[in-house]
């Protein structure tokens, strides 16, 4: 038995995740056979295990991703897009909390952060790990609850780096997040769209097989305009709007529990009714939400309004398969 023989034997060992042998993946760093050690029953074999550095891992896997390979292997039952008229109304919060609520109910959930120019999903979930790319695609990063998350922010060298891209490039990146990311089997993939109803979100929506749209507005947002635009867009694309979530709609007094309509009474129902767009729920302004999201702990956040929001989404887009054990 010499080093070559041992290498050959090790080349039979497959890495379970990357479906390639550990020798070609560069995981066997060195083999030393000492002259006086014969590999018989009494032989001494020493194996030193070390973790590959990020750099080694990337080098080993470089160039191995086959474009579009993941898309054919993914089994994603439903893709839901979360959309808003402008930034800052809580679209990412709704994406994150809806994903968390679905995962708490036992569904396999992924989050695709397509808000390339303002990606806040990784921060909300406290994720900083870089995704690893393998032969069949880029593996999304797993959250504490087991959600699969992919965002441009996880690929940037520094999370504060700005992405200054034009529309076509953004749409291209989002398409790659669909075609080159190995999502595996998911019941729901939630797509956090860039704000607005203009070109980029439109192209993104046309590129992915979206089953339904969840609209997010706030009382300060020109809700009527956004809902009408979105309704038009959905009609054009032949995609159903599952409903509207009004965020920061009111506050609850921490002392007496009284509901305070900070922006006056909501007109959302009156706007939605003629358009036949349901209201999914109203989320209060709550310091707990802001604090937990800032600390990367959205998965510890409990917002009662999401029970109804999730029920109403599930009623319109029921999962195809049986759910796994609730978490
Ligand atoms: P968008 O995705 O629409 O740009 P975000 O979801 O990132 O908006 O929310 C913007 C900010 O407001 C975040 O810091 C978030 O934590 C906070 N926020 C959102 N909704 C609420 C809420 N209901 N109560 C308190 N803070 C909120």
Query: Mind listing the pLDDT tens digit for each residue in 73-119?
Result: 789 999 999 998 888 889 999 999 999 999 999 999 999 999 887 77
Domain membership of residue 321 (yes or no) is no
Q: For residues 46 and 111, state if they share a domain.
A: no
Same domain, 1 and 48: yes
Q: Is the pLDDT of residue 70 over 80?
A: no
Average pLDDT over residues 8-14: 90
Ligand 1 center to 290 CA (angstroms): 7
- Across the range 33-39, mean pLDDT stands at 66
Give CA–CA dist 183/109, Å, rounded: 9
**Same-domain status, 48 and 156:** no
Is residue 322 assigned to a domain?
no
| Listed residues 64, 92, 109: the one ending a domain | 64
Query: Is 47 part of any domain?
Result: yes
Residues 55 and 190 in one domain: no
Q: Are residues 52 and 96 in the same domain?
A: no
Q: Evaluate if residue 35 carries a pLDDT over 90.
A: no
Please tell me whether the overall predicted TM-score, pTM, comes out greater than 0.85 for this model.
no
Between the CA of 90 and the centroid of ligand 1 the distance, in Å, is 4
Backbone angles phi, psi at 145, to 5 degrees: -80, 0
How high does pLDDT run on average in the chain?
Answer: 85
CA–CA gap between residue 324 and residue 248 (Å, rounded): 33
Domain count, the chain: 2
Same-domain pairing of 254 and 116: yes
Asked if residue 45 and residue 106 are part of one domain, the reply reads: no
Higher pLDDT, 21 or 183: 183
Average pLDDT over residues 169-185: 86
Closest CA to 239 of 82, 68, 75, 71: 82
Q: Which helix (H) or strand (E) covers residue 213, if one does?
A: strand 212-217
Q: 3-class DSSP state for residue 218?
A: coil
Higher-pLDDT residue of 55 and 240 is 240
- The pairing of strands 109-113 and 148-151 is parallel
Give the pLDDT confidence of 188-207 residue by residue, as tens digits: 999 999 888 777 788 888 88
Domain membership of residue 303 (yes or no) is yes
Residue 288: the pLDDT is 92
List the Cα angle 222/265/310 in 5-degree steps: 75
Residue minimizing CA distance to atom 26 of ligand 1:
290
Q: Under DSSP, is residue 326 helix (H, G, I), strand (E, B) or coil?
A: coil
Place of tokens 């290498």: 7
- 205 with 239, same domain: the answer is yes
Q: Which of 248, 246, 245 is nearest to 285 (CA)?
A: 248
249 in any annotated domain? yes
Ligand 1, pocket residues at CB < 6 Å:
84, 87-93, 118, 120, 247-248, 283, 285-286, 289-290, 293
Q: Can you tell me the distance from the alpha carbon of 124 to that of 163, in angstroms, rounded to the nearest whole number? A: 19
Same domain, 278 and 218: yes
Answer whether residue 188 is part of any domain. Answer: yes
Q: For residue 191, give both structure tokens.
A: 């797509």
Cβ atoms of 251 and 257 within 8 Å: the answer is no
Q: Which protein residue has the closest C-alpha to ligand 1 atom 19?
A: 90
Are residues 188 and 294 both part of a single domain? yes
pLDDT band at 60 (very low <50, low <70, confident <90, very high): low
Average pLDDT over residues 12-34: 82
CA of 89 to the centre of ligand 1 (A): 6
| Burial grade of 41 (CB within 10 A; 0-12, 13-18, 19 or more) | exposed
C-alpha of residue 181 to centroid of ligand 1, in Å: 27
Compare 194 and 280 and report the one with higher pLDDT: 280
Candidates 148, 122, 153, 124; CA nearest to 137 is: 148
Decide if 326 is inside a domain. Answer: no
Report CA-CA distances (Å) from 110 to 143, 156, 278, 315: 10, 20, 25, 19
Position 62 scores a pLDDT of 60
pLDDT of residue 307: 97
CB 229 within 8 A of CB 291: no
Same domain, 18 and 134: no
CATH number at residue 92: 3.40.50.300
* Domain around 185: 71-316
Q: Does residue 326 surpass a pLDDT of 50?
A: no
CA 98/CA 82 separation, integer angstroms: 10
Q: Is residue 324 part of a domain?
A: no
Tell whether 135 and 59 lie within a shared domain.
no
Cα first-last separation, the chain: 50
pLDDT tens across 294-313, in order? Answer: 999 999 999 999 999 999 99
Residue/partner pairs of 38-44 with CB below 8 Å, 24 or more apart: 38/1, 39/1
Helices (H) and strands (E) in the chain, counts: 11, 13
Where is the domain boundary, 48, 64, 80?
A: 64
Residue where a domain terminates, one of 9, 33, 64: 64
């Amino acid at each position: 038995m010499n080093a070559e023989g041992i290498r050959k034997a090790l080349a039979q060992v497959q890495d379970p995740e990357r479906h390639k042998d550990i020798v070609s993946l560069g995981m066997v760093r060195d083999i030393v056979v000492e002259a006086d050690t014969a590999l018989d029953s009494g032989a001494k074999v020493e194996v030193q295990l070390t973790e590959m550095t990020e750099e080694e891992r990337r080098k080993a896997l470089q160039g191995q991703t086959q474009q579009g390979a993941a898309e054919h292997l993914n089994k994603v039952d439903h893709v839901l897009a979360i959309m808003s008229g402008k930034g800052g109304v809580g679209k990412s919060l709704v994406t994150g909390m809806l994903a968390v609520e679905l995962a708490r109910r036992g569904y396999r959930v992924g989050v695709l952060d397509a808000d390339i120019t303002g990606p806040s999903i990784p921060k909300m979930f406290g994720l900083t790990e870089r995704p690893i790319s393998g032969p069949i695609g880029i593996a999304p990063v797993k959250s504490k609850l087991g959600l699969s998350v992919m965002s441009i922010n996880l690929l940037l060298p520094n999370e504060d780096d700005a992405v200054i891209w034009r529309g076509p490039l953004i749409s291209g990146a989002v398409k790659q997040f669909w075609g080159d990311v190995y999502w595996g089997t998911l019941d729901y993939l939630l797509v956090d769209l860039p704000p607005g109803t203009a070109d980029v979100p439109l192209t993104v929506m046309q590129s992915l097989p979206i089953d339904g749209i969840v609209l997010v507005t706030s009382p300060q947002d020109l809700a009527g305009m956004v809902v009408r635009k979105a309704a038009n867009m959905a009609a054009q694309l032949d995609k159903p709007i599952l409903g509207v979530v009004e965020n920061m709609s009111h506050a609850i007094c921490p002392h007496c529990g009284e509901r305070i309509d900070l922006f006056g009474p909501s007109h959302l129902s009156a706007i939605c009714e003629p358009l036949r767009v349901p209201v999914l729920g109203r989320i209060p302004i709550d310091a707990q939400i802001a604090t937990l999201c800032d600390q990367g702990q959205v998965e510890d956040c409990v917002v009662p309004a999401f029970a109804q929001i999730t029920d109403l989404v599930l009623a319109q887009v029921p999962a195809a398969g049986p759910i796994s054990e609730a978490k």
